[in-house]
């Protein structure tokens, strides 16, 4: 790839708008689309979402678990989904939340961030809760191959607070430490660093200074979880332009109509454009 992920993401958001649509083929959505909870349904679902959106939204985010539950055949569908989405111009963030140590972390990185892998994606979600330093193999490979990472920092699920808001010996929360280390990885990079954070759009008490990481902020919670695009400036402040709001169910429920999916995605693009203008 000719440019780092951060630069490519900045261009994609400027050209296509600040929106990430999740590809989450869970059983209830497959049923709502009139599809079976099987490989045929999975294939039709993912192909339809890619056909509808990959040439017009900035980011598509397949949730690996919903493919992995079908075993090797499901992973094969995921491989095709990633390849087709990237070929159509979308940036693909693989939502796999990998996190481990040493050679295992290196292997996870190779699975998603090595150009020779059939699951090669533009970015990967990772968990830093074995220590941010344990992510070094993924950080190094992402930088080498022009990819990005999104580390879990301040998630919107209530269970996350017990870990993410715990205060360490240096007097700052675990989440603040993760954000500071992402900022260090992005220091001096223009127009946008490649190492981002996952920060819930439903949160009400985020310190604006912590979010100034010079990198993208993947923001789940818009739509079904209760946040709106109008909340983006309130939650993220001066970093709002670097936010990638992630919407899944409130777009996907408009399938299997290709036009329905496109119209729903465009509404969110327009809403965030108005909110962040």
- Positions annotated as catalytic residues are 97
Distance between CA atoms of residues 264 and 277, nearest Å: 20
85-124: string of b/e by CB count within 10 Å (b at 16+)? bbeeebbbbbbbbbbbeeeebbebbbbbbbeeeebbbbbb
Question: How is residue 209 written in tokens?
Answer: 């200074």
Question: How is residue 55 written in tokens?
Answer: 């040439």
SS (H, E, C) 133-192: HHHHHHHHHHHHHCCEEEEEEECCCHHHHHHHCCECCCCCEHHHHHHHHHHHHHCCCCCC
- Per-residue CA distances from 137 to 126, 141, 182, 214, 248 (Å): 12, 6, 15, 21, 30
- Is residue 149 within 8 A of residue 123, CB to CB? The reply is yes
């Amino acid at each position: 790839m000719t440019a780092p992920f951060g630069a490519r993401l900045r261009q994609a958001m400027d050209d296509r708008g600040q929106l990430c649509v999740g590809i989450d083929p869970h059983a209830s959505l497959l049923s709502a689309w009139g599809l079976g909870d099987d490989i045929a349904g999975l294939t039709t679902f993912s192909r339809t979402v890619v056909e509808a959106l990959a040439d017009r939204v900035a980011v598509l985010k397949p949730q690996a678990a919903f493919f992995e539950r079908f075993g090797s055949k499901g992973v094969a569908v995921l491989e095709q989904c990633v390849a087709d989405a990237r070929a159509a111009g979308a940036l693909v963030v693989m939502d796999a939340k990998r996190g481990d140590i040493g050679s295992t972390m290196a292997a996870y990185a190779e699975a998603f961030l090595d150009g020779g892998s059939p699951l090669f994606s533009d970015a990967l979600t990772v968990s830093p809760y074995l220590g941010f330093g344990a992510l070094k193999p993924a950080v190094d490979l992402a930088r080498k191959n022009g990819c990005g990472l999104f580390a879990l920092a301040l998630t919107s699920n209530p269970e996350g607070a017990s870990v993410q808001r715990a205060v360490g010996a240096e007097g700052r929360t675990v989440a603040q430490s993760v954000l500071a280390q992402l900022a260090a990885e992005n220091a001096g990079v223009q127009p946008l660093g490649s190492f981002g954070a996952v920060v819930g759009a439903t949160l009400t008490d985020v310190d604006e200074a912590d979010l100034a990481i010079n990198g993208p902020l993947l923001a789940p919670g818009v739509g079904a979880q209760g946040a709106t695009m109008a909340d983006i400036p309130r939650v993220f402040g001066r970093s709002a332009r670097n936010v990638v709001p992630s919407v899944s169910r409130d777009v996907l429920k408009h399938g299997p109509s290709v036009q329905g999916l496109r119209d729903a995605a465009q509404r969110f693009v327009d809403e965030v454009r108005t909110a962040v203008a």
